[in-house]
Amino acid sequence: MVDVLAAADYLVATGIADESRLGVGGWSNGAILTNYVIASDTRFRAATSGGGMSNMFAGFGTDSWWQDWELELGLPWETPENWLRLSYPFLHADRIETPTLFLSGMEDYNVPAIHAEQMYTALRRLGVPTQLVVYPGQSHSVSRPSFARDVLSRYLSWYGRWLQ
């Protein structure tokens, strides 16, 4: 996250990027990073987050990584501080002001749609402009050509709306 913010600082300082029209986005790990960025910095005017997670507790036993998380972080009830620290974007959703488009595949067992649904619900509850799209029959990557085209179309529309 520090690198993304430093890159944004550099791009603005050198005149490459317009400070009033910054967007951020990513898929999978890039979406996790996006969620951290928008929970930590309000300068971004639009974000897209696809196939990412923000609430580590929701991943325990539901995603394909839960055993790895257990080995790395310990059990949630034994080391809750680790799980809380990594759940920063969800637990600090009240700091997010960035309009955010969340996307997920309905059959994503790598990072289940619940992660996008929770962030969408949190932002909606907080009055932050947000949208959620869950693609039926898709897993961690959206591979059906019509859905892949829809993802790109939604990116263009979302960023076009908020960064003009």
> How long is the chain?
164
The per-residue pLDDT for 85 is 95
For residue 115 the two structure tokens come to: 């992660």
> What does the domain layout of the chain look like in residue ranges?
18-163
Pick the CATH number of 18-163 from 3.40.50.1820, 3.90.25.10, 1.10.3720.10, 1.10.1040.50: 3.40.50.1820
- CA–CA dist 95, 19 (Å, integer): 19
Helix pair 2-13, 29-40: axis angle to 10 deg? 70
The per-residue pLDDT for 139 is 96
pTM assigned to the model? 0.95
The per-residue pLDDT for 66 is 80
Would you give the DSSP letter of residue 100? E
Which of these, 67, 51, 151, lies nearest to 105 by C-alpha position?
A: 51
The per-residue pLDDT for 62 is 87
Strand ranges (DSSP E) for the chain? 23-27, 46-50, 100-105, 130-135
Q: For the CA atoms of 63, 120, 47, 66, what is the dihedral angle to 10 degrees?
A: -10
* pLDDT under 50: residue ranges of the chain: none
The per-residue pLDDT for 69 is 87
Residues 48-87: pLDDT tens digits?
A: 999 999 999 998 888 888 888 899 999 999 999 999 999 9
